[in-house]
Structure 1
Amino acid sequence: MKPILTLGIIGGNGWLGSALGRSVLSSGLISPNQLVVTASREHNRYQDWPGVICVESADALLEVAEVVVVSVRPEQFSLLTLSLENRLVISLMAKVPIVALAAATGSNRIVRAMPNAAASVGRSYTPWCAMPGLSAEDCAFVQRLFSACGVSDEVEDESQIDYLTALTGSGPAFPALLADALIQHAITQGISPTVAQRGVLQTLSGASQLMLDENASPADMVARFLDYGGTTTEGLNAMLQHGFRDAVQEGMKAAYGAVKC
Protein backbone atom coordinates (compact mmCIF):
# COMPACT_ATOMS: atom_id res chain seq x y z
CA MET A 1 0.00 0.00 0.00
CA LYS A 2 1.37 3.41 -0.92
CA PRO A 3 1.96 5.84 1.96
CA ILE A 4 -0.85 8.17 2.99
CA LEU A 5 0.53 11.68 2.61
CA THR A 6 -2.06 13.57 4.66
CA LEU A 7 -4.99 12.49 6.83
CA GLY A 8 -7.50 15.23 7.61
CA ILE A 9 -10.03 15.10 10.43
CA ILE A 10 -12.89 17.59 10.24
CA GLY A 11 -13.87 17.89 13.89
CA GLY A 12 -10.42 16.63 14.87
CA ASN A 13 -10.45 18.61 18.11
CA GLY A 14 -13.69 17.04 19.33
CA TRP A 15 -13.66 14.12 21.74
CA LEU A 16 -14.05 11.41 19.10
CA GLY A 17 -12.03 13.03 16.31
CA SER A 18 -9.16 13.82 18.66
CA ALA A 19 -9.26 10.31 20.17
CA LEU A 20 -8.81 8.88 16.68
CA GLY A 21 -6.14 11.40 15.76
CA ARG A 22 -4.06 10.83 18.87
CA SER A 23 -4.42 7.06 18.57
CA VAL A 24 -3.10 6.95 15.00
CA LEU A 25 -0.21 9.19 16.03
CA SER A 26 0.63 7.03 19.04
CA SER A 27 0.52 3.89 16.90
CA GLY A 28 2.93 5.34 14.36
CA LEU A 29 0.48 4.81 11.51
CA ILE A 30 1.16 8.38 10.44
CA SER A 31 3.60 11.06 11.56
CA PRO A 32 2.44 14.40 13.03
CA ASN A 33 3.13 16.31 9.82
CA GLN A 34 0.79 13.92 7.98
CA LEU A 35 -2.21 14.90 10.14
CA VAL A 36 -4.30 18.03 9.66
CA VAL A 37 -7.27 18.80 11.91
CA THR A 38 -9.79 21.56 12.30
CA ALA A 39 -9.06 23.03 15.71
CA SER A 40 -8.81 26.40 17.40
CA ARG A 41 -5.19 27.49 17.67
CA GLU A 42 -5.85 28.43 21.31
CA HIS A 43 -7.55 25.19 22.28
CA ASN A 44 -6.30 22.01 20.65
CA ARG A 45 -5.57 18.52 21.94
CA TYR A 46 -2.33 17.85 20.10
CA GLN A 47 0.19 19.66 22.27
CA ASP A 48 2.23 16.46 22.54
CA TRP A 49 2.57 16.41 18.73
CA PRO A 50 3.67 19.93 17.70
CA GLY A 51 3.99 18.88 14.07
CA VAL A 52 0.23 18.36 13.68
CA ILE A 53 -1.31 20.94 11.35
CA CYS A 54 -4.24 22.73 13.00
CA VAL A 55 -6.49 24.79 10.74
CA GLU A 56 -9.61 26.74 11.55
CA SER A 57 -11.85 25.70 8.65
CA ALA A 58 -12.78 22.66 6.61
CA ASP A 59 -11.82 24.55 3.45
CA ALA A 60 -8.25 24.94 4.69
CA LEU A 61 -8.12 21.25 5.61
CA LEU A 62 -9.30 20.20 2.17
CA GLU A 63 -6.44 22.05 0.53
CA VAL A 64 -3.97 19.45 1.84
CA ALA A 65 -5.85 16.34 3.05
CA GLU A 66 -5.90 13.29 0.78
CA VAL A 67 -8.00 11.17 3.15
CA VAL A 68 -10.79 12.98 4.99
CA VAL A 69 -12.45 11.85 8.22
CA VAL A 70 -15.70 13.65 9.04
CA SER A 71 -16.29 13.69 12.79
CA VAL A 72 -18.99 16.28 13.41
CA ARG A 73 -22.63 16.21 14.43
CA PRO A 74 -25.04 15.40 11.58
CA GLU A 75 -26.63 18.84 11.84
CA GLN A 76 -23.18 20.43 11.48
CA PHE A 77 -22.41 18.30 8.44
CA SER A 78 -25.45 19.70 6.64
CA LEU A 79 -23.88 23.17 6.90
CA LEU A 80 -20.59 22.14 5.28
CA THR A 81 -19.77 22.41 1.61
CA LEU A 82 -17.33 19.63 0.78
CA SER A 83 -15.97 18.81 -2.65
CA LEU A 84 -14.22 15.50 -2.13
CA GLU A 85 -14.18 13.83 -5.53
CA ASN A 86 -11.55 11.08 -5.80
CA ARG A 87 -10.77 11.19 -2.08
CA LEU A 88 -11.35 8.52 0.54
CA VAL A 89 -14.04 9.84 2.90
CA ILE A 90 -14.57 8.23 6.30
CA SER A 91 -17.65 9.29 8.26
CA LEU A 92 -17.94 8.91 12.03
CA MET A 93 -21.47 10.34 12.02
CA ALA A 94 -24.66 8.59 13.01
CA LYS A 95 -27.82 8.95 10.91
CA VAL A 96 -26.03 10.03 7.70
CA PRO A 97 -26.18 7.16 5.16
CA ILE A 98 -23.62 6.53 2.46
CA VAL A 99 -25.98 7.75 -0.27
CA ALA A 100 -26.27 11.13 1.48
CA LEU A 101 -22.51 11.30 2.00
CA ALA A 102 -21.92 10.59 -1.69
CA ALA A 103 -24.40 13.27 -2.75
CA ALA A 104 -22.89 15.87 -0.39
CA THR A 105 -19.22 15.17 -1.14
CA GLY A 106 -19.14 13.84 -4.70
CA SER A 107 -16.90 10.99 -3.53
CA ASN A 108 -17.25 7.40 -4.68
CA ARG A 109 -14.86 6.16 -1.97
CA ILE A 110 -16.89 6.30 1.24
CA VAL A 111 -16.76 4.43 4.55
CA ARG A 112 -19.10 4.74 7.51
CA ALA A 113 -17.71 3.81 10.91
CA MET A 114 -18.69 4.18 14.57
CA PRO A 115 -15.94 4.17 17.19
CA ASN A 116 -16.83 4.80 20.81
CA ALA A 117 -15.46 6.82 23.71
CA ALA A 118 -12.95 4.12 24.62
CA ALA A 119 -10.96 5.18 21.55
CA SER A 120 -9.33 7.74 23.83
CA VAL A 121 -7.60 4.90 25.72
CA GLY A 122 -7.06 2.62 22.71
CA ARG A 123 -9.90 0.28 23.66
CA SER A 124 -12.68 1.17 21.23
CA TYR A 125 -14.67 -1.33 19.23
CA THR A 126 -15.20 0.13 15.74
CA PRO A 127 -17.46 -1.45 13.12
CA TRP A 128 -17.19 -0.02 9.63
CA CYS A 129 -18.92 -0.46 6.28
CA ALA A 130 -17.61 0.49 2.83
CA MET A 131 -19.63 1.50 -0.20
CA PRO A 132 -19.56 -1.10 -2.99
CA GLY A 133 -16.44 -1.11 -5.11
CA LEU A 134 -14.05 0.34 -2.54
CA SER A 135 -10.54 -0.87 -3.36
CA ALA A 136 -8.72 -3.46 -1.30
CA GLU A 137 -6.03 -0.85 -0.64
CA ASP A 138 -8.56 1.59 0.82
CA CYS A 139 -10.16 -1.14 2.93
CA ALA A 140 -6.78 -2.19 4.29
CA PHE A 141 -6.02 1.39 5.31
CA VAL A 142 -9.38 1.78 7.05
CA GLN A 143 -8.82 -1.42 9.01
CA ARG A 144 -5.36 -0.22 10.09
CA LEU A 145 -6.74 3.20 10.99
CA PHE A 146 -9.38 1.89 13.37
CA SER A 147 -7.21 -0.90 14.73
CA ALA A 148 -4.95 1.88 16.02
CA CYS A 149 -7.61 2.78 18.60
CA GLY A 150 -8.83 -0.71 19.53
CA VAL A 151 -10.53 -3.57 17.69
CA SER A 152 -12.33 -3.09 14.39
CA ASP A 153 -14.48 -5.17 12.05
CA GLU A 154 -15.82 -4.61 8.57
CA VAL A 155 -19.55 -5.39 8.56
CA GLU A 156 -21.74 -6.41 5.65
CA ASP A 157 -24.12 -3.49 5.26
CA GLU A 158 -25.17 -0.11 6.61
CA SER A 159 -28.08 -1.45 8.63
CA GLN A 160 -25.53 -3.18 10.85
CA ILE A 161 -23.69 0.11 11.36
CA ASP A 162 -26.97 1.69 12.46
CA TYR A 163 -27.63 -1.06 14.98
CA LEU A 164 -24.06 -1.13 16.27
CA THR A 165 -24.18 2.65 16.70
CA ALA A 166 -26.78 1.95 19.37
CA LEU A 167 -24.98 -1.08 20.82
CA THR A 168 -21.20 -0.63 20.74
CA GLY A 169 -21.28 3.09 19.94
CA SER A 170 -22.62 3.54 23.46
CA GLY A 171 -19.09 2.80 24.68
CA PRO A 172 -18.97 2.82 28.48
CA ALA A 173 -22.50 4.20 28.93
CA PHE A 174 -24.43 0.93 29.40
CA PRO A 175 -21.74 -0.79 31.50
CA ALA A 176 -21.52 2.45 33.52
CA LEU A 177 -25.23 2.20 34.32
CA LEU A 178 -24.72 -1.32 35.71
CA ALA A 179 -21.64 -0.17 37.60
CA ASP A 180 -23.47 2.78 39.14
CA ALA A 181 -26.36 0.56 40.30
CA LEU A 182 -23.91 -1.83 41.98
CA ILE A 183 -21.94 1.02 43.56
CA GLN A 184 -25.03 2.75 44.93
CA HIS A 185 -26.28 -0.47 46.48
CA ALA A 186 -22.90 -1.08 48.11
CA ILE A 187 -22.95 2.41 49.60
CA THR A 188 -26.36 1.73 51.18
CA GLN A 189 -24.73 -1.24 52.91
CA GLY A 190 -22.10 0.94 54.55
CA ILE A 191 -19.28 0.45 52.04
CA SER A 192 -17.32 3.64 51.45
CA PRO A 193 -17.85 5.24 48.03
CA THR A 194 -14.15 4.87 47.26
CA VAL A 195 -14.06 1.16 48.04
CA ALA A 196 -17.40 0.54 46.31
CA GLN A 197 -16.29 2.24 43.10
CA ARG A 198 -12.88 0.60 43.04
CA GLY A 199 -14.35 -2.82 43.74
CA VAL A 200 -17.08 -2.60 41.12
CA LEU A 201 -14.91 -1.12 38.35
CA GLN A 202 -12.13 -3.65 38.93
CA THR A 203 -14.67 -6.48 38.92
CA LEU A 204 -16.22 -5.36 35.63
CA SER A 205 -12.83 -4.80 34.02
CA GLY A 206 -11.55 -8.17 35.23
CA ALA A 207 -14.70 -9.96 34.06
CA SER A 208 -14.37 -8.54 30.54
CA GLN A 209 -10.71 -9.49 30.33
CA LEU A 210 -11.40 -12.98 31.66
CA MET A 211 -14.04 -13.64 29.00
CA LEU A 212 -11.72 -12.31 26.30
CA ASP A 213 -8.78 -14.38 27.50
CA GLU A 214 -10.82 -17.56 27.85
CA ASN A 215 -12.78 -16.89 24.65
CA ALA A 216 -15.87 -17.55 26.75
CA SER A 217 -19.27 -16.22 25.79
CA PRO A 218 -21.15 -14.17 28.40
CA ALA A 219 -24.01 -16.66 28.11
CA ASP A 220 -21.65 -19.48 29.10
CA MET A 221 -20.34 -17.43 32.03
CA VAL A 222 -23.86 -16.73 33.30
CA ALA A 223 -24.84 -20.39 32.92
CA ARG A 224 -21.74 -21.45 34.83
CA PHE A 225 -22.69 -19.30 37.82
CA LEU A 226 -26.37 -20.21 37.64
CA ASP A 227 -25.39 -23.87 37.85
CA TYR A 228 -22.94 -23.31 40.69
CA GLY A 229 -25.60 -22.76 43.33
CA GLY A 230 -23.81 -20.15 45.45
CA THR A 231 -24.53 -16.57 46.50
CA THR A 232 -23.95 -15.31 42.96
CA THR A 233 -26.63 -17.69 41.72
CA GLU A 234 -29.13 -16.12 44.11
CA GLY A 235 -28.22 -12.65 42.87
CA LEU A 236 -28.46 -13.61 39.21
CA ASN A 237 -31.81 -15.31 39.66
CA ALA A 238 -33.24 -12.27 41.43
CA MET A 239 -31.99 -9.92 38.70
CA LEU A 240 -33.48 -12.10 35.99
CA GLN A 241 -36.80 -12.46 37.82
CA HIS A 242 -37.02 -8.68 38.14
CA GLY A 243 -36.71 -8.21 34.39
CA PHE A 244 -33.01 -7.44 33.93
CA ARG A 245 -32.90 -8.79 30.37
CA ASP A 246 -36.18 -7.11 29.46
CA ALA A 247 -34.93 -3.74 30.72
CA VAL A 248 -31.72 -4.05 28.72
CA GLN A 249 -33.56 -5.06 25.55
CA GLU A 250 -36.02 -2.19 25.92
CA GLY A 251 -33.07 0.17 26.28
CA MET A 252 -31.53 -1.18 23.09
CA LYS A 253 -34.82 -0.83 21.22
CA ALA A 254 -35.01 2.82 22.28
CA ALA A 255 -31.41 3.55 21.33
CA TYR A 256 -31.73 1.83 17.94
CA GLY A 257 -34.97 3.65 17.31
CA ALA A 258 -33.24 6.97 17.92
CA VAL A 259 -30.49 6.08 15.43
CA LYS A 260 -33.04 5.28 12.73
CA CYS A 261 -35.04 8.50 13.19
Structure 2
Amino acid sequence: MISKTLGIIGGTGWLGGAIAHALLATARLPAANLVLSNRSGSHPLAGQGVCLVTDNQALVARSDVVIIAVRPEHFASLDIDATGKVVISLMAGITAQAIATQTSASAVVRAMPNAAVEIRQSFTPWFCSGTVDTATRELVQQLFESVGTAAEVREEGFIDYLSALSGTGPAFPALLMTALANQAIAAGLPADIAQLAARNVVVNSSQLLQTHDAQQMIEALVAYRGVTAAALQSMVDSRFEEHLGQALQAGAAVARKGLHG
Protein backbone atom coordinates (compact mmCIF):
# COMPACT_ATOMS: atom_id res chain seq x y z
CA MET A 1 0.00 0.00 0.00
CA ILE A 2 1.14 3.53 -0.82
CA SER A 3 1.64 5.51 2.38
CA LYS A 4 2.32 8.95 0.90
CA THR A 5 -0.36 11.48 0.01
CA LEU A 6 -0.99 11.63 -3.72
CA GLY A 7 -2.52 14.60 -5.49
CA ILE A 8 -3.91 14.39 -9.04
CA ILE A 9 -4.37 17.61 -10.99
CA GLY A 10 -7.03 16.64 -13.48
CA GLY A 11 -8.02 13.77 -11.22
CA THR A 12 -11.66 13.81 -12.30
CA GLY A 13 -10.82 13.69 -16.02
CA TRP A 14 -10.79 10.42 -17.99
CA LEU A 15 -7.13 9.56 -17.36
CA GLY A 16 -6.65 10.96 -13.87
CA GLY A 17 -10.06 9.66 -12.87
CA ALA A 18 -9.31 6.15 -14.10
CA ILE A 19 -6.11 6.10 -12.04
CA ALA A 20 -7.90 7.46 -8.97
CA HIS A 21 -10.63 4.82 -9.20
CA ALA A 22 -8.08 2.04 -9.75
CA LEU A 23 -5.96 3.08 -6.77
CA LEU A 24 -8.99 2.91 -4.52
CA ALA A 25 -10.45 -0.24 -6.03
CA THR A 26 -7.16 -2.14 -5.68
CA ALA A 27 -6.64 -0.76 -2.15
CA ARG A 28 -3.18 0.51 -3.10
CA LEU A 29 -3.94 3.91 -1.58
CA PRO A 30 -6.25 4.88 1.31
CA ALA A 31 -8.94 7.31 0.23
CA ALA A 32 -7.73 9.78 2.86
CA ASN A 33 -4.35 9.91 1.09
CA LEU A 34 -5.82 10.95 -2.26
CA VAL A 35 -6.38 14.59 -3.23
CA LEU A 36 -8.10 15.61 -6.47
CA SER A 37 -8.66 19.03 -7.96
CA ASN A 38 -11.42 20.22 -10.24
CA ARG A 39 -13.25 23.47 -10.80
CA SER A 40 -16.45 22.48 -9.02
CA GLY A 41 -14.82 20.98 -5.95
CA SER A 42 -17.36 18.17 -6.01
CA HIS A 43 -17.23 14.60 -7.29
CA PRO A 44 -18.73 11.22 -6.30
CA LEU A 45 -15.31 10.09 -5.01
CA ALA A 46 -15.71 12.56 -2.17
CA GLY A 47 -18.22 10.12 -0.75
CA GLN A 48 -15.41 7.58 -0.40
CA GLY A 49 -13.29 9.94 1.68
CA VAL A 50 -11.20 11.47 -1.10
CA CYS A 51 -10.22 15.12 -0.60
CA LEU A 52 -11.47 17.46 -3.34
CA VAL A 53 -10.11 20.99 -3.84
CA THR A 54 -10.72 23.68 -6.43
CA ASP A 55 -7.24 25.21 -6.24
CA ASN A 56 -4.25 23.37 -7.73
CA GLN A 57 -1.78 25.00 -5.34
CA ALA A 58 -3.86 23.81 -2.40
CA LEU A 59 -3.58 20.30 -3.85
CA VAL A 60 0.19 20.63 -4.08
CA ALA A 61 0.41 21.82 -0.48
CA ARG A 62 -1.53 18.77 0.73
CA SER A 63 0.40 16.22 -1.36
CA ASP A 64 3.74 14.46 -1.13
CA VAL A 65 3.60 13.46 -4.80
CA VAL A 66 1.74 15.39 -7.50
CA ILE A 67 0.40 13.88 -10.73
CA ILE A 68 -0.30 16.23 -13.62
CA ALA A 69 -3.03 14.62 -15.73
CA VAL A 70 -4.00 17.50 -18.02
CA ARG A 71 -3.72 17.95 -21.78
CA PRO A 72 -0.25 19.17 -22.86
CA GLU A 73 -1.64 22.42 -24.26
CA HIS A 74 -3.01 23.30 -20.81
CA PHE A 75 0.35 22.97 -19.09
CA ALA A 76 1.53 26.51 -19.92
CA SER A 77 -1.33 27.98 -17.87
CA LEU A 78 -0.80 25.61 -14.93
CA ASP A 79 0.62 27.88 -12.23
CA ILE A 80 1.89 25.75 -9.35
CA ASP A 81 4.94 25.83 -7.09
CA ALA A 82 5.96 22.24 -6.33
CA THR A 83 9.27 23.02 -4.63
CA GLY A 84 10.54 19.93 -2.81
CA LYS A 85 7.88 17.69 -4.37
CA VAL A 86 8.01 14.85 -6.87
CA VAL A 87 5.87 15.62 -9.92
CA ILE A 88 4.61 12.83 -12.17
CA SER A 89 3.62 14.03 -15.63
CA LEU A 90 1.21 12.13 -17.87
CA MET A 91 1.59 14.72 -20.65
CA ALA A 92 3.06 13.79 -24.02
CA GLY A 93 5.68 16.08 -25.50
CA ILE A 94 6.50 18.14 -22.41
CA THR A 95 10.08 17.48 -21.31
CA ALA A 96 11.11 16.78 -17.75
CA GLN A 97 13.28 19.91 -17.83
CA ALA A 98 10.34 22.08 -18.91
CA ILE A 99 8.20 20.65 -16.13
CA ALA A 100 10.92 21.13 -13.51
CA THR A 101 11.55 24.70 -14.65
CA GLN A 102 7.87 25.68 -14.51
CA THR A 103 6.94 23.87 -11.29
CA SER A 104 10.27 23.97 -9.36
CA ALA A 105 9.78 20.26 -8.59
CA SER A 106 12.72 18.51 -6.98
CA ALA A 107 12.25 15.54 -9.31
CA VAL A 108 10.06 14.80 -12.33
CA VAL A 109 8.73 11.46 -13.51
CA ARG A 110 7.38 11.29 -17.05
CA ALA A 111 4.94 8.46 -17.69
CA MET A 112 2.83 7.46 -20.67
CA PRO A 113 -0.28 5.38 -19.89
CA ASN A 114 -2.85 4.72 -22.58
CA ALA A 115 -6.63 4.47 -22.91
CA ALA A 116 -6.58 0.90 -21.58
CA VAL A 117 -6.36 2.40 -18.08
CA GLU A 118 -10.15 2.20 -18.24
CA ILE A 119 -9.97 -1.60 -18.10
CA ARG A 120 -6.69 -1.68 -16.11
CA GLN A 121 -4.76 -3.12 -19.05
CA SER A 122 -2.45 -0.19 -19.87
CA PHE A 123 1.27 -0.63 -20.31
CA THR A 124 2.87 2.45 -18.73
CA PRO A 125 6.55 3.21 -19.32
CA TRP A 126 8.03 5.82 -16.98
CA PHE A 127 11.25 7.82 -16.68
CA CYS A 128 12.79 9.57 -13.66
CA SER A 129 14.59 12.89 -13.97
CA GLY A 130 16.38 14.24 -10.93
CA THR A 131 17.10 12.52 -7.65
CA VAL A 132 14.42 9.92 -6.97
CA ASP A 133 14.93 7.47 -4.12
CA THR A 134 14.08 3.78 -4.17
CA ALA A 135 10.89 4.26 -2.17
CA THR A 136 9.55 6.78 -4.68
CA ARG A 137 10.44 4.51 -7.59
CA GLU A 138 8.50 1.72 -5.90
CA LEU A 139 5.57 4.10 -5.41
CA VAL A 140 5.55 4.99 -9.11
CA GLN A 141 5.64 1.31 -10.10
CA GLN A 142 2.78 0.47 -7.72
CA LEU A 143 0.81 3.45 -8.96
CA PHE A 144 0.87 2.35 -12.58
CA GLU A 145 0.47 -1.33 -11.80
CA SER A 146 -2.95 -0.36 -10.47
CA VAL A 147 -4.00 0.23 -14.11
CA GLY A 148 -2.04 -2.58 -15.79
CA THR A 149 1.69 -3.19 -16.18
CA ALA A 150 4.55 -0.71 -15.96
CA ALA A 151 8.31 -0.48 -16.48
CA GLU A 152 10.97 2.14 -15.86
CA VAL A 153 13.01 3.24 -18.89
CA ARG A 154 16.48 4.77 -18.60
CA GLU A 155 16.29 7.41 -21.34
CA GLU A 156 13.71 10.17 -21.64
CA GLY A 157 13.68 9.78 -25.42
CA PHE A 158 12.19 6.31 -24.97
CA ILE A 159 9.07 7.94 -23.52
CA ASP A 160 8.63 9.99 -26.70
CA TYR A 161 8.96 6.88 -28.88
CA LEU A 162 6.65 4.85 -26.66
CA SER A 163 4.09 7.65 -26.82
CA ALA A 164 3.66 6.55 -30.44
CA LEU A 165 3.80 2.82 -29.66
CA SER A 166 2.13 1.81 -26.40
CA GLY A 167 0.78 5.30 -25.74
CA THR A 168 -1.56 4.98 -28.71
CA GLY A 169 -3.39 2.22 -26.85
CA PRO A 170 -6.06 0.58 -29.00
CA ALA A 171 -5.47 2.83 -32.02
CA PHE A 172 -3.43 0.37 -34.11
CA PRO A 173 -5.65 -2.65 -33.37
CA ALA A 174 -8.70 -0.48 -34.13
CA LEU A 175 -7.17 0.53 -37.47
CA LEU A 176 -6.37 -3.09 -38.31
CA MET A 177 -9.84 -4.30 -37.40
CA THR A 178 -11.46 -1.54 -39.47
CA ALA A 179 -9.21 -2.27 -42.45
CA LEU A 180 -9.90 -6.02 -42.30
CA ALA A 181 -13.66 -5.43 -42.17
CA ASN A 182 -13.58 -2.86 -44.98
CA GLN A 183 -11.55 -5.14 -47.25
CA ALA A 184 -13.90 -8.05 -46.61
CA ILE A 185 -16.90 -5.88 -47.44
CA ALA A 186 -15.14 -4.70 -50.61
CA ALA A 187 -14.65 -8.37 -51.54
CA GLY A 188 -18.42 -8.85 -51.38
CA LEU A 189 -18.99 -10.23 -47.87
CA PRO A 190 -22.01 -8.99 -45.88
CA ALA A 191 -21.01 -6.21 -43.48
CA ASP A 192 -22.11 -8.10 -40.36
CA ILE A 193 -20.05 -11.17 -41.26
CA ALA A 194 -17.04 -9.03 -42.22
CA GLN A 195 -17.14 -7.19 -38.91
CA LEU A 196 -17.53 -10.41 -36.89
CA ALA A 197 -14.57 -11.98 -38.68
CA ALA A 198 -12.36 -8.91 -38.22
CA ARG A 199 -13.27 -8.62 -34.54
CA ASN A 200 -12.43 -12.27 -33.98
CA VAL A 201 -8.98 -11.84 -35.53
CA VAL A 202 -8.05 -8.71 -33.57
CA VAL A 203 -9.84 -9.19 -30.25
CA ASN A 204 -10.31 -12.93 -29.77
CA SER A 205 -7.65 -14.82 -31.72
CA SER A 206 -4.91 -12.42 -30.62
CA GLN A 207 -5.38 -13.65 -27.05
CA LEU A 208 -3.26 -16.66 -28.07
CA LEU A 209 -0.29 -14.29 -27.94
CA GLN A 210 -0.60 -14.22 -24.16
CA THR A 211 0.80 -17.76 -24.08
CA HIS A 212 2.64 -18.06 -27.42
CA ASP A 213 5.75 -16.34 -28.73
CA ALA A 214 4.73 -14.09 -31.62
CA GLN A 215 7.76 -14.74 -33.84
CA GLN A 216 7.54 -18.50 -33.34
CA MET A 217 3.86 -18.42 -34.25
CA ILE A 218 4.60 -16.52 -37.46
CA GLU A 219 7.39 -18.93 -38.41
CA ALA A 220 5.18 -21.95 -37.77
CA LEU A 221 2.36 -20.56 -39.90
CA VAL A 222 4.72 -19.62 -42.73
CA ALA A 223 6.31 -23.08 -42.64
CA TYR A 224 2.88 -24.63 -43.15
CA ARG A 225 2.81 -22.94 -46.60
CA GLY A 226 -0.94 -22.50 -46.59
CA VAL A 227 -3.42 -19.63 -46.87
CA THR A 228 -1.99 -17.78 -43.88
CA ALA A 229 1.53 -18.05 -45.22
CA ALA A 230 0.49 -16.49 -48.52
CA ALA A 231 -1.24 -13.61 -46.74
CA LEU A 232 1.72 -13.00 -44.46
CA GLN A 233 4.19 -13.12 -47.35
CA SER A 234 2.14 -10.54 -49.24
CA MET A 235 2.33 -8.20 -46.24
CA VAL A 236 6.09 -8.72 -45.96
CA ASP A 237 6.52 -8.04 -49.69
CA SER A 238 4.55 -4.81 -49.33
CA ARG A 239 7.02 -3.67 -46.62
CA PHE A 240 4.45 -3.80 -43.83
CA GLU A 241 7.04 -3.55 -41.05
CA GLU A 242 8.80 -0.64 -42.74
CA HIS A 243 5.53 1.26 -43.07
CA LEU A 244 4.76 0.58 -39.42
CA GLY A 245 8.20 1.88 -38.47
CA GLN A 246 7.53 5.07 -40.41
CA ALA A 247 4.23 5.51 -38.56
CA LEU A 248 5.92 5.11 -35.19
CA GLN A 249 8.65 7.59 -36.13
CA ALA A 250 6.01 10.11 -37.25
CA GLY A 251 4.24 9.85 -33.92
CA ALA A 252 7.49 10.01 -31.97
CA ALA A 253 8.51 13.13 -33.91
CA VAL A 254 5.36 14.89 -32.74
CA ALA A 255 6.05 13.81 -29.15
CA ARG A 256 9.65 15.09 -29.34
CA LYS A 257 8.55 18.37 -30.86
CA GLY A 258 5.90 18.83 -28.19
CA LEU A 259 4.55 22.33 -27.81
CA HIS A 260 7.91 24.00 -28.18
CA GLY A 261 8.82 23.30 -31.81
Q: TM-score, normalised by structure 1?
A: 0.89
Residue 3 (structure 1) aligns with = 3
Report the AA paired with residue 25 of structure 1: L
> 1:55, CA displacement in angstroms?
2.6
1:41–1:54 contact (8 Å) kept in structure 2: no
Residue 251 (structure 1) aligns with = 247
Report the AA paired with residue 231 of structure 2: G
Report the AA paired with residue 245 of structure 2: Q
- CA distance 1:177–1:145, change in 2 (3 Å): same
Confirm or deny that 1:28 pairs with 2:24: no
Residues 172-209 of structure 1: CA deviation (Å, up to 9, x unaligned): 11111111101222333454544433443333234443
> 1:43, CA displacement in angstroms?
8.1
Residues 58-92 of structure 1: CA deviation (Å, up to 9, x unaligned): 12322322211001122211111111122221111
> 1:42, CA displacement in angstroms?
8.6
1:98–1:110 contact (8 Å) kept in structure 2: yes
Could you tell me how far apart the structure 2 residues matched to 1:192 and 1:40 are? 49
Could you tell me how far apart the structure 2 residues matched to 1:88 and 1:179 are? 40
Could you tell me how far apart the structure 2 residues matched to 1:32 and 1:110 are? 24
Report the AA paired with residue 32 of structure 1: A
Confirm or deny that 1:260 pairs with 2:251: no
Could you tell me how far apart the structure 2 residues matched to 1:198 and 1:26 are? 33
Confirm or deny that 1:227 pairs with 2:223: yes
* Percentage of pairs with the same residue: 35
Confirm or deny that 1:80 pairs with 2:78: yes
- CA distance 1:49–1:116, change in 2 (3 Å): farther
- CA distance 1:190–1:37, change in 2 (3 Å): farther
Query: Structure 1: which 5+ residue stretches go unaligned?
Result: none
The equivalences for 1:131-146 within 5 A come to 131-146=129-144
Moved more, 183-192 or 250-259: 183-192
Could you tell me how far apart the structure 2 residues matched to 1:191 and 1:28 are? 48
Report the AA paired with residue 228 of structure 1: Y
Moved more, 158-167 or 136-145: 158-167
Could you tell me how far apart the structure 2 residues matched to 1:198 and 1:61 are? 47
- CA distance 1:50–1:202, change in 2 (3 Å): farther
- CA distance 1:43–1:177, change in 2 (3 Å): farther
Q: TM-score, normalised by structure 2?
A: 0.89
The equivalences for 1:28-177 within 5 A come to 28-41=27-40, 44=43, 46=44, 50-177=48-175
State the superposition RMSD in angstroms: 2.3
